[in-house]
Amino acid sequence: MSTSTLTEAPPPVPQPQSPEQPVRRTVPTRRRLVPYLLLLPGILWLVVFFALPLVYQASTSVQTGSLEEGFEVTWHFQTYWEALQEYYPQFIRSLLYAGTATVLCLLLGYPLAYLIAFKAGRWRNLLLVLVIAPFFTSFLIRTLAWKTILADGGAVVGALDALHVLDVTNWLGWTEGNRVLATPMAVVTGLTYNFLPFMILPLYTSLERIDGKLHEAAKDLYASPATTFRKVTFPLSMPGVVSGTLLTFIPASGDYVNAELLGSTDTKMVGNVIQSQFLRVLDYPTAAALSFILMAIVLLMVTVYIRRSGTEDLL
């Protein structure tokens, strides 16, 4: 589609017979069109594969009926209310798990990104490759591998048990009966593992951009290393913190693979509900309504978050 549009604008043909004036006038017109032509492929893609499905889902969410009799748009907004009422525990769990995983990603990712940006020297590129190395294996396979890692009687569970960590996590309700698999901790661990690179890379990018002279200036102006980090490095890395947390939190809150493979029926997230409503229960309106509620919640949270972090102009 885009090719036909692109060929509509011919390359400027030198017109020897006409004076300079008319040629000059056609060039700016072409220039004005160029940005739109460059946008076109992307816009078309988004319209076909994002905007149209979104409208379709929106209409599904206000339909009623059944698979046998067919669905019809009846503007039945009640579905939203019912879905929220029935599945609010899964919503809360989703946000809680995703939030915890995001915080863990930040705590694990920041020191690593800091090390790669400032201390790694010639190991920098190697470490960056290692950060993205997991992407060479499928997301599903990696998550399945965690099933083995966290398996009952495995080394990890044994070690945690021996260190009495499980006593604490049992008491907190993160694990149950000396097992890790099929507990909230397993799901959060999986989420943290899977989304960690999405936290590290933006953090690294924003840290790496900080001019080393600013650290020297801070030191020169009586800031100890800790104060330098608090007053200069961290504030300047805020764009990375914000984009990293968004890139982690948003997909994690809609994730269902980790809860499916590492969790139990007690750790179902909204993603799992949507998946089963769509594919097993075949209640399309409820599934669509749940999707929209999740989208609305995430959008609202993200907006408030960006406003409060004061990084609109940095993003």
Of 153 and 212, which CB lies nearer to other proteins in the complex structure?
A: 212
- Under the binding rule (CB under 8 A), the answer on residue 117 touching other proteins is no
C-alpha–C-alpha distance, residues 284 and 86, integer Å? 15
C-alpha–C-alpha distance, residues 234 and 312, integer Å? 16
Of 167 and 216, which CB lies nearer to other proteins in the complex structure?
A: 216
Of 6 and 221, which CB lies nearer to other proteins in the complex structure?
A: 221
Residue 57: CB minimum distance to other proteins, A? 41
Max Cα distance, the chain (Å): 91
Of 239 and 271, which CB lies nearer to other proteins in the complex structure?
A: 239
Contact yes or no for 241/203 (Cβ under 8 A): yes
Interface stretch with other proteins, choices 30-38, 136-144, 173-181, 208-216 (CB under 8 A): 208-216
Of 176 and 208, which CB lies nearer to other proteins in the complex structure?
A: 208
SS3 string, 67-135, reads CCCEEEECCCCHHHHHHHHHHHHHHHHHHHHHHHHHHHHHHHHHHHHHHHHHHCHHHHHHHHHHHHHHH
Strand 63-66 to strand 70-73: parallel, antiparallel, or no bridges (unpaired)? antiparallel
- Under the binding rule (CB under 8 A), the answer on residue 315 touching other proteins is no
Give the C-alpha distances (Å, rounded to integers) separating 185 from 179, 226, 227: 10, 32, 34
Of 89 and 310, which CB lies nearer to other proteins in the complex structure?
A: 310
Contact yes or no for 198/248 (Cβ under 8 A): yes
Number of residues that bind other proteins (CB under 8 A): 18
**Residues from 212 through 271 that contact other proteins (CB under 8 A):** 213-214, 216-224, 227, 231-232, 235-236, 238
Residue 206: CB minimum distance to other proteins, A? 12
- Under the binding rule (CB under 8 A), the answer on residue 312 touching other proteins is no
Give the type of residue at 127: L
Chain contacts with other proteins (rule: CB under 8 A): 211, 213-214, 216-224, 227, 231-232, 235-236, 238
